[in-house]
Amino acid sequence: MARKLRRTGIGMARGFMLNATHGDWTANNIRYGLDLSRRVGGKHFVINTAHNGRGPVHYRDGWRRVVVWCNPGLRGIGRAPTADTAHPRVDAYLWINRPGYVQSCSHGRVEWNLKRALSVARYQTDWLRPPKGTRHGHFKRYPKRALNIPG
């Protein structure tokens, strides 16, 4: 990624953004962003926290770890937008995409969905990483279908 950023002119930009297309934990984004920043001259970055309050959903398919990309269930809004972050090179936590918007997995359309908006508001957290004892960002165990895990 550092090579791609350098080729596209990161030297002329203030920085870069992470977590725009998925919902990884903020702590993972900070760790990755700091490494990437070091490789591109110390650039600052922002992290999208609009839908990472419960982290990613993944499951095992044999030996492979598969991430649920298409609207994983029981997700929550992450940290509220702020410039008060966990590291000086992280300029802000932002909501790049408004909570409640979902992408159609087959058509690529993005639409606002009231049910999704209420769900992500209900499961909102300000966690940077998963607390001990959680699975898929919850202390309670949920069936696979609730998380949008196939099978």
Q: What average pLDDT is seen over the chain? A: 92
- Across 45-54, average pLDDT: 94
* In a domain? residue 146: no
The pTM (predicted TM-score) of the whole model is 0.90
* In a domain? residue 147: no
Query: Distance between CA atoms of 49 and 46, rounded to whole angstroms?
Result: 9
Q: What is the DSSP letter of 12?
A: G
What does the pLDDT look like over 61-71, one tens digit per residue? 999 999 998 88
Residue 107: pLDDT band by 50, 70, 90 thresholds? confident
Residue 1 has pLDDT above 90, yes or no: yes
- Across 77-101, average pLDDT: 92
* In a domain? residue 70: yes
Domain CATH code at residue 62: 3.20.20.40
